[in-house]
Chain A
């Protein structure tokens, strides 16, 4: 829409006043002056994640410019809206640059000549797209957006001109003004291809030629002023996200999303000169985050998608991941600009501990975020501050953390009884310490060892190993909690202690791979331990069972379990990308075949509520996450709710009891479906 601004002198064309150049210069100067806000994140700590040059450009283009994650089936209307807005905006920006160059006879060999019909038509489409997008956004913002996920005012809110609705109205004015200015030009210059500018051309009939000539300077100047003001203020408005998102996408290593940064506490403790008061333990202040984490917060577009998909939010718990990002950003700008009331980041005027503890680390937010923001590590860093620096884990969890250190399991059951499940069932299970080397080291896990419901899964796995003739052994009493819950609760010291012990134990033995039925153990053993030097090939039992079936080592089951639906555990699904293996295993072990899908399945799965340590304490909400999920399972009409995680199993089983469905619905781990098929 800025295209007309650059018409050169001569003939019937309109003059460009020298004053315009002065204003343009000022606007651009102010834009760059304002742009320094982008560097606010430099007050953060150095980034410990390795920088990945190779992904810089591809990610900036794919996620930033092409906005791959903006487009989402779940947010169809918003995706379409953004598509129109963003591509309209970009087209017009591009067209304006082209016209500017063409008018000055620059690069003419590569650019369309003035008043090329297809180019004129394309620019009209750009204007229409912008107008349509802005209108769609306005409709949505004022009619259907849930008030609880509405943006929280950090850019002046939706009332203000720089805020959410104001900026949309500016875009509307810009588009309308552009069309009108173009209409006036068409009348005055009367180019041969005038009808190609089809929107403006249609408007030319609205006034007489004399009329257009009279209003032309007003139209032109108001349009120019609006455009230049927008450029000048862009870094202060919500539209700044368009630039930050490209930068942030380029600087994000998508493989690292949701992975917690190691703290290397063992080294801290070993350092005799370490000053306990000077150590940064977690993030209690905004500059305790790394610069990349602060850039994330700056980039947040306040779209609210994260909060809309957050299970804690859905259950009425006091958590909105969007608010977390906005509180971080507000603190950041307050600190950099020297404004603000100096209120603590974590506290009554910032982020409350309850918000932090409500997170199940389910990763729904991160996967939904269009601009690659990494919420979980930020939340856990603040938990680390609460626990490691302040000594304030959730009240109920303190005991569990202490027990985990003492007895090696978060329940605090005697460590001597870690293999009691085998003795009780009269099983002779091979132990690693009696074996030279094995193919599969089966990691039983605390739940598998102590929780009665999960002991049945462990026995099912043993039955499967025996039936398929797998060369396997377990660690027995040498196994300790992997520390997943402790780590997600921010207790990195307890986590590291357990991790170092387990790594030392594992490194004593020879095995080809570790198999576990717990996706939390799978995450810790397979990815977290690598940060501490423990590198193993780890398979979740879903994939392992699938491999056994593929190899024909298990009979295809014919278990009568009625209709089955599958609940995707967060750490198997979103965190590890395994959606098909468990479904395949189910389909091949029950007579009803392919499982039924819940409304929220696979990538969109809704957490069971146990992750992130939430198994061990409770943050009060209006509902319970596991009940919400169990009800979704019931809606499929399934007779059996299957899952593939120790804690999901406990949560679903509990929901089944609360709902009084013990007689009518079964809750099973996929290994149980396989093993019961063997028996039958």
Chain B
């Protein structure tokens, strides 16, 4: 069985972010990066499954040189090999472009299972998983909080809204987007780090893929990145209930113009 896990590297949640001068992204100099939170859970779920059923875990990430670190961390925790997608042409991508690149790579891997985190903590699109599943023509389940694998079928518990859940059973191959908290991500041992040095990290660039360049041109572009300006203000109305009521109506009608 082959489980592929997609991992995104992001600025660490503890970092102090500064917006770049062009207001199109954050200033990455001196930033600390780490793996997207839900992706760590996806990796752990894959490793647990491999330990229980045997097989191979392949981790995939796209991004510049620094992305190698999250792949190494994953290998140290027990993944078997890694694919690092890296090309200057891929600097600005939208979810669909990214999904097409991933699909081109993963088609060859013939994964039985593909895990991604629910969504990335930076842009929070949550689109890559479903898009990739469509491109690879396989079923997908999002927001997975529990998995149970048996005889080529997987039964998952999916989180719905308002505290509701549902169980879904699917035939492999299938793509799951994993919710944070499904397990306890492990800590990389030194023994794992030593073993990691003997594992393969395959570099893949645009030239290695059978994918025309127009396929990843971003259809969506980012206009401006900014810290939200304070737009709301709380007004305390004082006085007797009658006065407050009158003031409130006046405020709603004349200032907030809700009617």
Report which A residues bind B (CB closer than 8 A). Answer: 265, 268-269, 274, 276-277, 279, 281, 387-393, 395, 398, 401-403, 406-407, 412-417, 492-493
Asked if B14 lies at the interface with its beta carbon under 8 angstroms from chain A, I say: yes
Q: Is the CB of A389 within 8 A of B14?
A: no
Q: Is the CB of A390 within 8 A of B14?
A: no
Kindly state the separation between the CA atoms of A391 and B44 in the bound complex, as whole angstroms. 13
Kindly state the separation between the CA atoms of A417 and B187 in the bound complex, as whole angstroms. 26
Report A-chain residues with C-beta under 8 Å of the C-beta of B189. Answer: 281, 387-392
Of A274, A277, A413, A492, which is within 8 A of B14 by CB?
A413
**Cβ contacts B25-43/A at 8 Å (1 or 0 each):** 0000010101000000000
Report A-chain residues with C-beta under 8 Å of the C-beta of B16. Answer: 414, 416-417
Given contacts A407-B12, A414-B15, A416-B16, contact A388 B187 (CB under 8 A): no
Asked if B224 lies at the interface with its beta carbon under 8 angstroms from chain A, I say: no
Given contacts A391-B186, A414-B15, contact A406 B32 (CB under 8 A): yes
Closest 5 pairs between A and B when the two form their complex, measured CB to CB: A391-B189, A276-B194, A388-B190, A414-B16, A276-B195
B14, B77, B193, B197 pick with most chain A CB within 10 angstroms: B14
Q: Is the CB of B32 within 8 A of A407?
A: yes
Question: How many of B's residues come within 8 Å of A, CB to CB?
Answer: 21
Given contacts A387-B189, A395-B184, A416-B16, contact A406 B194 (CB under 8 A): no
Q: Is the CB of A401 within 8 A of B14?
A: no
Given contacts A276-B195, A414-B15, contact A281 B32 (CB under 8 A): no
Kindly state the separation between the CA atoms of A493 and B15 in the bound complex, as whole angstroms. 23
Kindly state the separation between the CA atoms of A391 and B73 in the bound complex, as whole angstroms. 13
Q: Is the CB of A403 within 8 A of B187?
A: no
Q: Is the CB of B190 within 8 A of A281?
A: yes
Kindly state the separation between the CA atoms of A406 and B188 in the bound complex, as whole angstroms. 14
Asked if B192 lies at the interface with its beta carbon under 8 angstroms from chain A, I say: yes
For this complex, 18 residue pairs linking A to B, each with C-beta atoms less than 8 Å apart, are A265-B190, A268-B194, A269-B194, A276-B191, A276-B195, A277-B191, A281-B189, A281-B190, A389-B191, A391-B189, A391-B192, A395-B184, A406-B12, A407-B32, A414-B14, A415-B30, A416-B15, A492-B190
- Measured CB to CB, the closest approach of chain B to A520, in angstroms, equals 22
Given contacts A406-B32, A414-B16, A415-B32, contact A387 B194 (CB under 8 A): no
Report A-chain residues with C-beta under 8 Å of the C-beta of B187. Answer: 387, 391-393, 398, 401-402
Report B-chain residues with C-beta under 8 Å of the C-beta of A269. Answer: 193-194, 197
Kindly state the separation between the CA atoms of A95 and B184 in the bound complex, as whole angstroms. 67
Report B-chain residues with C-beta under 8 Å of the C-beta of A281. Answer: 189-191
Report which B residues bind A (CB closer than 8 A). Answer: 12, 14-16, 30, 32, 34, 77, 184, 186-195, 197-198
- Measured CB to CB, the closest approach of chain B to A346, in angstroms, equals 14
Known contacts A398-B187, A493-B190; 17 additional CB pairs below 8 A are A269-B194, A274-B194, A276-B192, A276-B194, A276-B198, A281-B189, A387-B190, A389-B189, A391-B186, A391-B188, A391-B191, A402-B34, A406-B32, A406-B34, A407-B14, A415-B30, A493-B193
Q: Is the CB of B14 within 8 A of A406?
A: yes
Kindly state the separation between the CA atoms of A393 and B195 in the bound complex, as whole angstroms. 19
Kindly state the separation between the CA atoms of A557 and B178 in the bound complex, as whole angstroms. 61
Kindly state the separation between the CA atoms of A415 and B15 in the bound complex, as whole angstroms. 8
Report A-chain residues with C-beta under 8 Å of the C-beta of B184. Answer: 395
Kindly state the separation between the CA atoms of A279 and B14 in the bound complex, as whole angstroms. 34
CB-CB nearest in chain A for B33:
A406
Q: Is the CB of A388 within 8 A of B32?
A: no
CB-CB nearest in chain B for A416:
B16
B186, B187, B190, B194 pick with most chain A CB within 10 angstroms: B190
Q: Is the CB of A279 within 8 A of B191?
A: yes
Kindly state the separation between the CA atoms of A546 and B144 in the bound complex, as whole angstroms. 61
Kindly state the separation between the CA atoms of A524 and B16 in the bound complex, as whole angstroms. 28
Report B-chain residues with C-beta under 8 Å of the C-beta of A415. Answer: 30, 32
Report B-chain residues with C-beta under 8 Å of the C-beta of A265. Answer: 190
Kindly state the separation between the CA atoms of A265 and B189 in the bound complex, as whole angstroms. 13
Kindly state the separation between the CA atoms of A269 and B16 in the bound complex, as whole angstroms. 32
Report B-chain residues with C-beta under 8 Å of the C-beta of A398. Answer: 187
Report A-chain residues with C-beta under 8 Å of the C-beta of B198. Answer: 276
CB-CB nearest in chain A for B184:
A395
- Measured CB to CB, the closest approach of chain A to B169, in angstroms, equals 32
- Measured CB to CB, the closest approach of chain B to A511, in angstroms, equals 25
Kindly state the separation between the CA atoms of A417 and B188 in the bound complex, as whole angstroms. 27
Q: Is the CB of A388 within 8 A of B191?
A: yes
- Measured CB to CB, the closest approach of chain B to A19, in angstroms, equals 62
Kindly state the separation between the CA atoms of A291 and B35 in the bound complex, as whole angstroms. 42
Q: Is the CB of B194 within 8 A of A279?
A: yes
- Measured CB to CB, the closest approach of chain B to A613, in angstroms, equals 14
Kindly state the separation between the CA atoms of A493 and B187 in the bound complex, as whole angstroms. 13
Q: Is the CB of B14 within 8 A of A412?
A: yes
CB-CB nearest in chain A for B15:
A414
- Measured CB to CB, the closest approach of chain A to B50, in angstroms, equals 15
Of B32, B34, B77, B190, which is within 8 A of A389 by CB?
B190
